[in-house]
Amino acid sequence: MSNAESWLTSQSLYSSGPFDEALAHRHPAERLEALNNLGYGFYSRKQWLQAQHAFELALSIDPDCLPALNHLGLVLRTQQREPEAEASFRRALAVAPNYVSARINLAVLLWQTRRPADAEAQYREILRVQPDHPLAQNNLGLLLLDLGRPKDAEAAFRHALAIDASAPEMHNNLGNALNRQGRAREAIAAYRQALALRPDYPTASGNLAMVLLRLGAFEEGWRLYESRTDESTGAAVGTLPPVPYPKWRGEPLQGKSLLVWPEQGYGDLLQFCRYLPLMKARGVAHLGVACPPALVRLFASLEGVDAIYPLDGKTTIPGHDYWCLMLSLPMHCGTTLDTIPARTPYLRAPADLTRAWRARLPAHGFKVGLVWSGDPRAHDRGSNAIDKRRSVLARAFLPLLGLADSTGVKFVSLQKGDAAQSQIEDLPPHLRPFDPMHDVRDFADTAAIIECLDLVISVDTSVAHLAGALNKPVWILSRHDGCWRWLRDRDDTPWYLGARLFRQTEPGNWADVIDRVGQALVDLRKL
């Protein structure tokens, strides 16, 4: 480390006197180069403030220095100072309109700040000048995929691969575009090519796992699905339990204690908690399960569970011999399509709670629960994109709600989430479903309400899994690129024998799905 670099690390970032003195006798070009190199070094070590100061000093020598403007923008973007970052990138482009690095970085910033049309325009400008720029083609494809245009994304990825087929990331991205179009076999080939180029590529392994599981190829699918927590992806952060004892890798469990740890969303936990009794049957002496507080009362009905530990920041979890993630249990059980543990109900609402809710619900009529929206998970771009494809507005259910009088149906909202729940106010007053959800504390309350219903109609979210786990008839509205667990080309599911699937026939078209659900409801009431 140079004396100047050491000084910058230990002294005030905005008092540049000693540093200026260290370079005072150098030629300005040499000072500029030294400052840029210093900034790069700080940037590579994620020392953002030091890097910012170095690039700002470089710009005090030459306000039009392109590398300093570009990298200052990156540093500011990393610090979530987006307007300043944008100004730095645009300043670089004002000096040199064909400076591709700055334009790509500006496009990424525009995309991150939810200005996709502007971001696309930046990528198109790069490709107008340099149509064979592989990174611009790849990034454009990612943007188009995020915008729900998988065919256009496919074209961009194929163009990028025609320029450079050596990048495993581009094959993986092509696989995603193909998968979103329902072209599973081609997607598998793309993911396998990515893995051929980089065998230790957990993202491609996870994507391949999803497609294989959707096709029912469970043996390879479960095994590859373990890549979801590979530390190199960063996905393991916050997922793996902070405990000192080892992960269970299939060792004999007779007489041992096992802690099962939650992961992913509520729907995943409601679906796969069915495996907990199977662990007890393997001879586990003490079976503990950790879970979000909203599931504690409901999980108390699970057979074979000795202890439930709410992850509330206050509960102490004692030591166990092993731990295991909830969604790794199917792999350890060797689950195939023919051996899915499909016996229901495996969850039950408390009887006293069910009685209490029955007294509050409409007394007469065929009672149907409705869910139109999932958890948006705004903090997670990937999950948020999926939620947008699986959710509808409450008004989309108007054709169903309009059937109430002719079918004798009493609709009951099971929708949680302030934004989605408030959409009931957008409905005509005489068509609004009965809404008890403001008084619901957790999934035990929701389960008790469902126990009082005759049918649940839900988009693909946690309530659909809860209804299935309770052995309640449930109709699931599935997006075009449906979740892997619903398999392909069937309107039933081996996971819940009382479930019926209504799939989109084309991306984004919920009207056709809801029309079919409405007709099915009319037919059901005629029986």
Over residues 191-207, the pLDDT tens digits come to 999 999 999 999 999 99
Give residue 1's pLDDT: 33
Q: What is the mean pLDDT of residues 390-405?
A: 94
Whether 96 has a pLDDT exceeding 90, the answer reads yes
Q: What is the mean pLDDT of residues 313-321?
A: 95
Give residue 164's pLDDT: 93
- CB count in 10 Å sphere of residue 395: 13
Dump pLDDT digits (tens) for 153-193: 999 999 999 999 999 999 999 999 999 998 999 999 999 99
Give residue 480's pLDDT: 87
Give residue 27's pLDDT: 67
Q: How would residue 520 be classed by pLDDT, with cut points 50, 70 and 90?
A: very high
Please give the C-alpha separations between residue 131 and each of 90, 134, 137, 160, 295, in angstroms, as whole numbers.
22, 8, 8, 10, 52
For 18-27, 326-335, 406-415, which range has the lowest pLDDT when averaged over its residues?
A: 18-27
Q: What is the mean pLDDT of residues 221-228?
A: 95
Residue 18 to residue 24: CA distance in whole angstroms: 10
For 324-338, 356-370, 376-390, which range has the lowest pLDDT when averaged over its residues?
A: 376-390
Find all residues with CB under 8 Å of 448, minimum gap 6, and list them: 349, 350, 353, 354, 356, 357
Q: What is the mean pLDDT of residues 103-114?
A: 95
Q: How would residue 382 be classed by pLDDT, with cut points 50, 70 and 90?
A: low
Of 188, 236, 181, residue with least CA distance to 210: 188
Give residue 28's pLDDT: 72
Whether 412 has a pLDDT exceeding 70, the answer reads yes
DSSP assignment letter at 158: H
In angstroms, what is the C-alpha Rg of the chain? 28
| 460 φψ region: left (φ > 0), alpha (ψ -120 to 50), beta (else) | beta
Q: How would residue 12 be classed by pLDDT, with cut points 50, 70 and 90?
A: very low
Order of strands, sheet of 286-291, starting from the edge strand that comes earlier in the sequence: 307-310, 286-291, 257-261, 322-325
What would the 3-class secondary structure string for 169-201 be? HHHHHHHHHHHHCCCHHHHHHHHHHHHHHCCCC
Query: Which residues, in sequence order, are bridge partners of residue 457?
Result: 370, 475
Residue pair 276/287 in contact (Cβ under 8 Å)? The answer is yes
Residue 487, CB-side half-sphere exposure with 13 Å CA sphere: 16
DSSP string for residues in 437-472: GGG--SHHHHHHHHHT-SEEEEESSHHHHHHHHTT-
Give residue 241's pLDDT: 93
Q: How would residue 20 be classed by pLDDT, with cut points 50, 70 and 90?
A: low
pLDDT top residue among 105 and 381: 105
Name the residue type at position 149.
R
pLDDT top residue among 190 and 11: 190
Q: How would residue 22 be classed by pLDDT, with cut points 50, 70 and 90?
A: low
Q: What is the mean pLDDT of residues 46-66?
A: 94
Residue 462 to residue 417: CA distance in whole angstroms: 12
pLDDT top residue among 480 and 302: 302
Q: How would residue 48 be classed by pLDDT, with cut points 50, 70 and 90?
A: very high
Give residue 380's pLDDT: 64
When the pLDDT of each residue in the chain is averaged and rounded to a whole number, the result is: 91
Residue 282 to residue 333: CA distance in whole angstroms: 10
| Residue carrying the six token digits 């300005």 | 28
Whether 52 has a pLDDT exceeding 90, the answer reads yes
- CB count in 10 Å sphere of residue 63: 11
Whether 232 has a pLDDT exceeding 80, the answer reads no
Phi–psi pair at 508, nearest 5 degrees: 80, -10
Whether 18 has a pLDDT exceeding 90, the answer reads no
For 234-238, 377-381, 390-394, which range has the lowest pLDDT when averaged over its residues?
A: 234-238
For the record, the structure tokens of 112 come out as: 């991150």
Q: How would residue 321 be classed by pLDDT, with cut points 50, 70 and 90?
A: very high
Dump pLDDT digits (tens) for 474-497: 999 999 888 999 999 999 999 999
- CB count in 10 Å sphere of residue 30: 11
Give residue 237's pLDDT: 45
Give residue 13's pLDDT: 32
Give residue 21's pLDDT: 54
Dump pLDDT digits (tens) for 244-294: 999 999 999 999 999 999 999 999 999 999 999 999 999 999 999 999 999
Whether 527 has a pLDDT exceeding 50, the answer reads yes
Residue 311 to residue 382: CA distance in whole angstroms: 24
Give residue 29's pLDDT: 81
